[in-house]
Amino acid sequence: MLFKGFPEECVTLKSLKDGALSTGSSSKWSAEWGTNALPLVNQVRAQTWLAKCTLHS
């Protein structure tokens, strides 16, 4: 699972980042991450949190 352990110990995502950096395909990883991926991750996390709250109430 790509985001397992996110954000502290997300080995798969770190590997993806390292691979992108080593191939030079993303010299601006943090800017691209913050602009493109982080909003999506936050949206999924919020939906997951809401789903868990709904199940436990």
The pLDDT, as a whole number, for residue 50 is: 72
**Total number of domains in the chain:** 1
Residue 4 lies in a domain: no
Residue 26 lies in a domain: yes
d(CA 56, CA 43): 20
User: Region 13-29: what's the mean pLDDT?
Assistant: 73
User: Region 5-11: what's the mean pLDDT?
Assistant: 70
Residue 5 lies in a domain: no
Rg for the chain, CA atoms, rounded: 14
pLDDT surpasses 70 at 6: no
pLDDT surpasses 70 at 53: yes
The pLDDT, as a whole number, for residue 26 is: 55
d(CA 55, CA 41): 21
pTM value? 0.43
User: Region 3-31: what's the mean pLDDT?
Assistant: 72
